[in-house]
Every structure is written in C-alpha cells, then in structure tokens.
Homo-oligomer: A and B are copies of this chain.
Amino acid sequence: MSLQQEVEFLRNIPLFSKVDPTKLKLLAFASERLAYNDDQILFHQGDNGDAAFIIMEGNAAVLIDTENGAIEVARLKKGDVVGEIAILCNVPRTATVQAKGQLTTLKVKEDTFFQLVTEFPQIAVEIMRELAARLERTNAQLRDALNKKAS
C-alpha cells in the first residue's frame, strides 16, 4: 500500500473520519505497518507496552490467561484499536492479542498516540466510547461469571 492509499484507508476508519488528511499522512508516516500470519501474537498478557495497534485488515482475538488456559473475550476487526490500556495506564499488557488469519496492523507509538488524542478531540471521544463499550462488555462478562459461580 502506498502512503496515499494508506491515508485513504485511514480516512475510511470512523475513528479518523474527521481528521485532516495532512495529519493522517503524518500518522501513517510516523507509524509502522506490521503483517501477521494466522495465530501469530501481537503481544502477550504481562508484556510491557509502548504502542497501540490499529487493525488495518483482518481479525484478531483478545485472550485472557486463566489457570485453565486462554479464554477469548473479544474479537477485533478492521478499524478497531487495541493496546492503548498499557500506554494510558503505564501497566503491563492486560491481555494477549493473536492474529486470526492474515492480519495487518498500524503500530502507533505512545507519543504519536498522545499527540493524536490531544490534537483531535474527536479521536479522544471515539477512543473513550470504545473503552466505555469494552468496559460495558467486560462488566457483562463479569456479571455472567459471578452468576455462574454462584449457581
């Protein structure tokens, strides 16, 4: 994909739809494109993390390690952002992310990420919405797990 194609691609992701193309060019330029094969790991739960990932193409599974092995708690698709918790909170990776089939991501480093969200409140709002939605799903899973444990 050329830089121009990548900018076009980013513009079609809801997260970036309101961002000026010149800025998207800088984002694409400052970020690293990574390709993964089926089952390859983006990062492991417990790793240190200094970057977030935008799913450009393909799917990935979010896995939580338990004593009985990994449990898939979410499935990521094109346009989703993942890995921002570790950079927002300065904590190790809270889950493992694994490619499901061929996957391409844009790796956005910590400083680029903060530059983006402070310069574009709309991106900040979208990421807030995404975090809130994920929190809501996790709360539902927790309720479910607590109910099953009790019954």
Binding site for B on A (CB under 8 A): 64-68, 71, 73, 84-85, 88-89, 91, 94-95, 114, 117-119, 121-122, 124-125, 127-129, 131-136, 138-143, 145-151
Contacts and interface: CB of A to CB of B under 8 A. Distances in A.
Contact of A66 (B84, B132, B147): B147
A132 B84 CA distance: 8
Q: Which 4 A-B pairs give the minimum distances between C-beta atoms?
A: A124-B124, A145-B145, A118-B121, A131-B131
A73 B117 CA distance: 29
A139 B64 contact: yes
A124 B121 CA distance: 7
Contacts of A65: 143
Contacts of A148: 149
